[in-house]
A and B are shown apart, each in its own frame.
Chain A
Amino acid sequence: MTAPPLNRVSYIEDDEDIQRIVRLSLERIGKMSIDIVSDPEEAIGRMIAFKPDLVVLDWMLPGIDGPTLFRRMQARAETCRLPVVFITAKASARELEELRALGAAGTISKPFSPNDLPAQLRAIWDALPAHARGQP
């Protein structure tokens, strides 16, 4: 069975300029629906409401950081199956490994190209095993 297309993305990011760029990138170039959340404390509630296919988390967030939010998601039945992609400026091999160990579906390093971002996310999505796409 072929993978269902990637349509809905939740993006947790506090920098408004980058929010805007990612929105344009995913909506205009990727033709996806995107829900952007600035406050990580609100993120899980918004995810449950939005029902994304995939979540993109920034590593550095105000208050709680990306990995902490990820762990909280894993603790909730509604969000524990959602695939997560981290966007990070940290590019050391050890940290990338750490993210994979957490169960991240993939990583995209900063700065990313908004032209390529939809394709990068789709590549990660397509490479996921069926059960990891939140499908039964």
Chain B
Amino acid sequence: MSLLSTSAQAVPSASAADSTAAVEPKLLVADRVAQLYGQLPLGIAASFALIIVLAYGLRDSRQTWMVGTWAAMALVINVARGILWWSYQRGERGSSDAEQWMRWLAIGTLANGTVWGVLAGLFFHLQPAQENLFMLLILAGVLVGGIAMYAASWPLYALYGAPVILPFTYNLMAHELEALQALAVLVPVFYAACVGVAYRLNQLFLSGFRSQHAFRRLNTEYAALNKRLARQLEELSDARAQVEASGRKLTLFVEGSPLAVFELDPRGLALHTNPAAENLFGYAASELNGRAIAEFLFTPEQRIEIAARWREMLGSRRPVMLLGQPTRRRDGNAIVCEWSLTPLVNAEGRVISIIVQGSDITQQREAERLKQEFTSTLSHELRTPLTAVIGALQLVNSGALGVSGPEACEMTEIAERNSQRLLDLINDLLDLEKIESGKLPVTLQPMPLDELLRESLVLNRAFADRFKVHLELLGAMSPARVYVDRRRMLQILTNLLSNAAKFSPEGGIVEVTLQDLGAGLRIAVHDRGPGIPADFHSKIFNRFAQADMSLTRKKGGTGLGLAICKRLTELMGGKIGYDDRPGGGTTFWVELPKYTAGSA
């Protein structure tokens, strides 16, 4: 069995075509050895029989002691061969030590050959003629019988025959009988013929062994192949089960999807239509399947545009989106749909089908429109009455219409201040809405930041004066430029300066610095206000974030200023932040990258 397993390990994946041609020489040796050892008991038995017969036949010869010695030697040698056979049977007969067994066998064979050689050399010429004939027959039998014994290895046979033939030929030549002298010429010829036969037999054996090996290997491979095939079949059946399961899942998804789903072939003809699509467009699946759905849903002008996108998708094999497509329903009503077209591509890169998903965004569109309308209403309709209110109060408070009593004055001033706050709030909300919807137009241009800073100080001085706070520009000013929207940059600076003024103690100084950071510029506004409470740190840039809402009412402000500043700063590529100021107060800062030609 070890032989079989060895061959299986050595060539587990060789193809059947190879296996008939090349058989490992080692394995051949092992097979020959097995064959030779298989014959050995027969040879040993035959030898014993011959030895006994010869010893009996020669018992009356003149040199009885010589016969006795020869017979003893022959028996010992054959017992030794028997032991050799026995140990071969017991031991490991793998291909690795086959050559060693072969060598042992060769020694045994040579010894056995010698037994018969000694017989031929010592006793042949001593015998009377009829006994010589007897011995001649026995020796010929020994030689011919050896052919069968050693058919698996002709050199072994040659080795076996040589010690027999040499003394025998010599004795025949030296014999006084002329007939026997003539025989001396024939014996080597006979020997050569026997070796030749052994050689032919040997070839036959070899081809037999080869066929056996090839068959065995084919068998092994066939078994392995069978096993692999069985495994693959099993895997295939698993895979089919999985595909079926995921197919069922997919069907479930498609069937239950709130989105309209079509599967189209590359020509745009419907292969499948889900219930949501039936409901949304009012056509039964049976009406659409096999037809071009675009003809049902879109106008001829739309179809031209869609056909171009379709070709683009087939060419690139990438999904495309068709946004905001007016789509006709069966009842003639138009809805707005968002379509996504996803090509399904097989392993060869061919588009098999296209999954088309449509979602009805009519309501979403309507909501967006309402929101925009609301914003626009807020902007115009609220501002118009406020214009009247503020304008009227400003006229009264200016004194241009005559002077009212001090209490009336106070009241109209309160009214003006609060309507102004309302207006600020509306403006801030609109700004924030515009920034967040990406609709705030910013016109970025290179600007010297120091000039903007000086301008903002001038603009906010009057406001600061109301709080008896002085705004002061400190330190060296970098002339470097930044890439900003002038109006929005001033809005940010105004916010920071007015905040600082509002929160500074009366008579305080707000210090403003401009620092060159190398790649950027940093404006910092330092106040000596109450600082920002710790629990408020994370919220400071949120909407309506004022640590103390009563301050909003006392000092004005909408609570949206910093939220707007943060968004505006980020819109212009900058950063905004604040630090607690040593000795009390807060430093708000804005960092902007420097403008360099090409950086825009």
Q: Which of A24, A29, A94, A111 contacts B387 (CB 8 A)?
A: A111
Q: Which of B379, B398, B400 contacts A89 (CB 8 A)?
A: B379
A18 in contact with B398 (CB, 8 Å): no
Give chain A residues whose Cβ lies under 8 Å from the Cβ of B443.
93
B395 in contact with A115 (CB, 8 Å): yes
B394 in contact with A18 (CB, 8 Å): no
Q: Complex: how many Å from CA A23 to CA B504?
A: 41
Q: Report if B386 contacts A (CB, 8 A).
A: yes
Q: Report if A114 contacts B (CB, 8 A).
A: yes
B400 in contact with A29 (CB, 8 Å): yes
B441 in contact with A21 (CB, 8 Å): no
Q: Complex: how many Å from CA A93 to CA B380?
A: 17
Q: Complex: how many Å from CA A92 to CA B443?
A: 11
Q: Report if A60 contacts B (CB, 8 A).
A: yes
State how many angstroms separate the Cβ of B22 from the closest Cβ of chain A.
86
Q: Report if A71 contacts B (CB, 8 A).
A: no
B395 in contact with A24 (CB, 8 Å): yes
Which of A19-43 touch B at CB < 8 Å? 20-22, 24-25, 28-29
Q: Which of B388, B391, B401, B441 contacts A113 (CB 8 A)?
A: B391
Q: A15-B384, A89-B384, A110-B383 are in contact. Are A21 and B391 (CB under 8 A)?
A: yes
Per-residue contact bits, chain B 382-405, to A (CB 8 Å; 1 contact, 0 not)? 011111101110110010110000
Q: Complex: how many Å from CA A21 to CA B387?
A: 9
Q: Report if B423 contacts A (CB, 8 A).
A: yes
Count of A-B residue pairs with CB < 8 Å: 63
Which of B174-220 touch A at CB < 8 Å? none
State how many angstroms separate the Cβ of B305 from the closest Cβ of chain A.
28
Q: Complex: how many Å from CA A94 to CA B443?
A: 10
State how many angstroms separate the Cβ of A60 from the closest Cβ of chain B.
6
Q: Which residue of B lies closest to A21 (CB)?
A: B391
A114 in contact with B441 (CB, 8 Å): no
Give the interface of A toward B (CB within 8 A).
15, 17-18, 20-22, 24-25, 28-29, 60, 89-90, 92-94, 110-115
* Further contacts, 15 of them, CB under 8 A, given A21-B388, A115-B394, A115-B400: A15-B388, A17-B388, A18-B384, A18-B388, A20-B392, A21-B392, A24-B400, A25-B391, A28-B400, A29-B398, A92-B441, A111-B423, A112-B391, A114-B392, A114-B398
Q: Which 10 A-B pairs have the closest CB atoms?
A: A111-B387, A17-B388, A21-B391, A114-B391, A89-B383, A28-B400, A115-B398, A114-B395, A89-B380, A110-B387
